[in-house]
Amino acid sequence: MHSSPRAGLVRKFQRQQSCREVTSGEEAFSAIDRARESVTAKFTGGLSPASLMLAYLDWAIHLAGAPGKQLELASKAVRKATRLGGHAISGRLEPDAAPCIEPLPGDYRFSAPEWRTQPFSFMAQAFLLNQQWWHNVTHEVPGVERHHEEVVSFIARQILDVFSPSNNPLTNPEVIERARKTGGSNFIEGWRNWTEDLQRQLAGRPPVGSERFVVGRDVAVTPGKVVFRNHLIELIQYAPSTPTVHAEPILIVPAWIMKYYILDLSPENSLVRYLVGAGYTVFCISWRNPDADDRELALDDYRRSGVMAALDAIAAIMPRRKVHAAGYCLGGTLLAIAAAAMVRDGDERLASLTFLAAQTDFSEPGELALFIDSSELRFLDSMMWNRGYLSADQMAAAFQLLRSNDLVWSRLVHEYLMGERSPMFDLMAWNADSTRMPYRMQAEYLRGLYLDNDLASGRFMVEGRPAALQNIRTPTFAVATERDHVAPWRSVHKLHLLIDADLTFVLTNGGHNAGIVSEPGHPGRHYRIMPKKHGDICLGPDEWLAEARMREGSWWEAWTEWLDGLSSPEQVVPPAFGGAGSDREPLCDAPGTYVMQR
């Protein structure tokens, strides 16, 4: 007996209702878990307790079952104790006795002459030997997963740093001498500094001295106009400073994790101003600072409404002109995705690509990988789900932990124990002017790129199809920095393995930010550079380091020389703002409105 059409419709409706009820129930149960994780995150600083516990148990269980490693550690402990005892004896007999261990490169806690005298020398040497021993304890334990090993080692360093003799006013000879000279007033000044910083932090105000670097007045002052705006970007076209310009303009894609004007700081160290002075028409994206209403902005929205929308606007202003595109940090990663998709689709608008401290392969992302595993990503996901974005203070805390000696403890000692304010400068003021990250984009970015490494593996999808870096043939210039803790230079170097194009690779001294803001005339600057044709063999990072030529000065000059070689020989009249004969009026003066958003 056949059922009636009405009965079939009823059953279909019932199934749909059942599916809705199941989906609604699952979402409710998931919301409970997310709410719990979000609350927990407030007490853990955003670190997943499960992730930390898994790392600890992996290390502890394998160490407990490794008698050979235990004997090795015991032997090393005896040898280090012997070295320390010998140093103590020689220090009593010879005040200027050589230390038995030197600090790691970049560790300046014990560099002052006062640390060479007893008993402070003994304290410093004991701390450094203990630090070295704990490095041995947390490394090369047989069977421990590498990620867990790095997490345990990182936590051990953080705990050790708390007890460094440099952080204690009773065991730091520099603080003791300062107190003797000032009669203890340094502690009063330090207390004032601490209370002022606390008040500013609670009120959401920038650090002391930031008011001297006002956007549009002191920094981001290169003349220009906002010629395009959508929900996500403002596109700035900078005014020419030469009678004629190169035919091909430059588009700069900064990271949206930061305000764009790191590339247009003070007039003397502005990369934008330098490029304009070199005869280029420069366009730069200024990203909107997202809020909770932007929680569903996806990574592909940043590609479409960011890079592609900017290229479309430039094409309207300068028709039939190819573009030199440059991306910094996260903006470079986005530019690589956009370029791969453009090649796939036959879009030939790019004359060259430049990547500044930008990763495309995330298999070795450096210490940021400490915060990237499935458990930690779930935790971050719940934090962002609750707010709709990842806040600036949460990101800043992670970066400070990675360089706790420089960004936390040295500041504590200098400003709160010594009672001296560190002078504010433009790069520090910019660093305090941070932005938020929308929920969906950040989740896609961390999981798809950092955790799964989809871009380097050819699995990254753009509009339903793979966007493979291996298809890029555009001449490319890549810059890495020696002390980069965000995009380690060996990770950036992996671009050699991913694109089939002529690639000029530069390694400059400095860190992630200061190495890029490296204007000509900056004292102490140098860089290594070596081009690779698309048919040449690939060198590993250590081989490249051995063969690359060292140059003194700024890499900016090498970059403009490279750009000149890829630009048309003829010079042209600078384009009008918004395009010649266009009825599109500039929207406002640079630096625009989005950069002012808090």
Q: How many domains does the chain have?
A: 3
pLDDT at 19 over 50: no
pLDDT in tens, 525-556: 999 999 999 889 999 999 999 999 999 999 99
In a domain, 60, yes or no: yes
- What is the SS3 assignment for 230? coil
Provide the pLDDT for residue 400: 59
In a domain, 422, yes or no: no
331 band by pLDDT with thresholds 50, 70 and 90 = very high
Provide the pLDDT for residue 431: 86
**CA-wise closest residue to 249 among 216, 228, 278, 270:** 278
**118 and 237 assigned to the same domain:** no
pLDDT in tens, 497-518: 999 999 999 999 999 999 999 9
pLDDT in tens, 394-438: 666 565 555 666 667 888 999 999 999 988 999 889 988 888 889
Question: What is the C-alpha separation between 348 and 31, in angstroms, rounded?
Answer: 46
Strand 282-287 and strand 250-253: pairing?
parallel
Question: Which CATH number does the domain housing residue 495 bear?
Answer: 3.40.50.1820
pLDDT in tens, 153-180: 989 998 999 999 999 999 999 999 999 9
37 band by pLDDT with thresholds 50, 70 and 90 = confident
Catalytic residue among 19, 284, 329, 588: 329
**116 and 32 assigned to the same domain:** no
1 band by pLDDT with thresholds 50, 70 and 90 = very low
Provide the pLDDT for residue 404: 60
- Structural domain of residue 109, as residue ranges? 52-182
pLDDT in tens, 352-405: 999 999 999 998 887 777 778 888 888 778 777 777 887 766 666 565 555 666
Contact 167, 409 (CB under 8 A): yes
- 338 contact partners, CB below 8 Å, separation of at least 6: 303, 307, 308
Provide the pLDDT for residue 359: 95
Rg (CA), the chain: 28
pLDDT in tens, 246-288: 999 999 999 998 899 999 999 999 999 999 999 999 999 999 9
Q: What are the phi and psi torsion angles at 587 (to 5°)?
A: -80, -35
In a domain, 86, yes or no: yes
**62 and 177 assigned to the same domain:** yes
Look up the pTM and report it: 0.88
**37 and 62 assigned to the same domain:** no
**Does residue 329 carry a catalytic annotation?**
yes
Question: What is the C-alpha separation between 254 and 282, in angstroms, rounded?
Answer: 13
**56 and 142 assigned to the same domain:** yes
Q: What is the 3-state secondary structure (H, E, C) of 11-43?
A: HHHHHHHHHHHHHHHHHHHHHHHHHHHHHHHHH
